[in-house]
Amino acid sequence: MLTRVKSKLFVHARRRSRGLLEGEYASVFHGRSLDYDDLRDYVIGDEVRDIDWKATARHTRPLVKRYVAHRKQNLMLVVDTGRGMAATTRSGEPKKEVAIAAAGLVGWLAQRHGDLVGMVRGTASTTTAHDLRGTEAHLELLLRAIDSATSLESEQSNLASQLRWIIRNVRRRLFLLVLADDRDLDPETEELLRRLHVQHEILWITVEDADPTSIEAGRTTYDVSDTHTLPTLVRLDPRVRAAYAAAVAHRVEHTTALLGRRGINHARIGSSDEVVGAVFALLERQRRARR
């Protein structure tokens, strides 16, 4: 799974070579000090401002200054693995595939910069925690755990359960990447985020639902939460389409406003092909917010 994530990253890098020079792949995780260590080859994820241009000119390949970091940061993936994440997103692929791509990308960037990656995942009634470690093998295990835990037989989602678990059990400062189903955020979730934001940095990614009113006639469509079939004549009715579009717009506005009040940067992703661009735009907003 991690190999698939890397392949998407490298394809994006070749298509957006200019973005590399503009620092698109800068990490927001790695701590740094003013203690210069040595030079090494430039790799995706390095800050462009760390390039030693004189050394680069002498050696005809990009070289960056390496500093002795005061500390490592800890990235915790917070992943909804309930039944809703086994549904289809608007690209036609399972929503969990988008979550895996996003988790793998951010996890790999953190791991490449020497940071530790762990995970808290679960449903409304169960929460499972995975240790913080710094190897690609461990990250691969985390991605496989998301894949195996998320199915149409899973329990219903309730991300508040995982947020409460972190509040009760985690004392160290973390960088939280939340991968959430496309659901309304209730007052309880807002209060949990208020408490978490005092101690941790938080990024939030919503994996978008498919639009049932845009699926062509002849295809069976149903809600994974209760398996009730959505009749074609109903879901393709213009009035239903308008009502659904209005409900989605209201949910997006409400979620954006709620997270904005807590200073949490947010992205909505509906396809694994959008993950690289959307994640790096999100990381760039987070990096600028920290200045």
The CATH number covering residue 149 comes to 3.40.50.410
Q: Do 231 and 111 share a structural domain? A: yes
Q: Report whether pLDDT(35) > 70.
A: no
Same domain, 90 and 127: yes
Are 143 and 33 members of one domain?
A: no
Residue where a domain stops, chosen among 67, 97, 112: 67
Shared domain check, 179 and 59:
no
Q: Are residues 43 and 157 in the same domain?
A: no
Virtual torsion, Cα 147, 113, 32, 15, nearest 10 deg: -100
- Report d(CA 152, CA 150) in Å as an integer: 7
Q: Quick one: average pLDDT of 79-99?
A: 94
| Least-confidence region, from 8-17, 40-49, 143-152 | 8-17
Contacts of 236 (CB under 8 A, 6+ apart): 213, 217
Structural domain count of the chain: 2
Tell me: do 53 and 121 sit in the same domain: no
For residues 59 and 85, membership in a common domain is answered with no
The Cα-based distances of 257 to 115, 184, 190 in angstroms read 31, 12, 11
Q: The tokens 């295990």 sit on which residue?
A: 141
> pLDDT per residue over 131-172, tens digit each?
999 999 999 999 999 999 999 899 998 999 999 999 999 988
Question: Could you tell me which residue, 114 or 203, shows the higher pLDDT?
Answer: 203
Same-domain pairing of 163 and 40: no
Q: What pLDDT, on a 0 to 100 scale, did the predictor assign at position 116?
A: 92
**Res 222: pLDDT:** 73
Mean pLDDT of 233-240: 87
Whether residue 97 is found in the same domain as residue 199: yes
167-193: string of b/e by CB count within 10 Å (b at 16+)?
A: eeebeeebbbbbbbbbbebeeebeebb
Q: Within this chain, do residues 260 and 141 fall inside the same structural domain, yes or no?
A: yes
**Order of strands, edge to edge, in the sheet holding 201-207?**
127-133, 116-122, 74-80, 175-180, 201-207, 265-269
**Between 220 and 75, where is the model more confident?**
75
pLDDT (average), residues 263-276: 94
Which structural domain, as residue segments, surrounds residue 31? 2-67
- pLDDT tens track for 94-133: 999 999 999 999 999 888 878 899 999 999 999 999 999 9
Which of 70-74, 78-82, 87-91, 150-154 is predicted least confidently? 70-74
Which of 44, 67, 90 lies at the terminal end of a domain, its last residue?
67
> Residue 154: which of 178, 114, 124 has the closest Cα?
124
Name the one residue in this structure whose structure tokens are 């037989």: 153
| Of the candidates 97, 106, 111, the residue with the CA atom closest to the CA atom of residue 283 | 106
Q: Does one domain contain both 63 and 88?
A: no
pLDDT over 70, % of the chain: 86
The strand pair at 74-80 and 116-122 is best described as parallel
Both 48 and 97 in one domain: the answer is no
Is residue 194's pLDDT more than 80? yes
Q: For residue 30, what pLDDT is reported?
A: 47
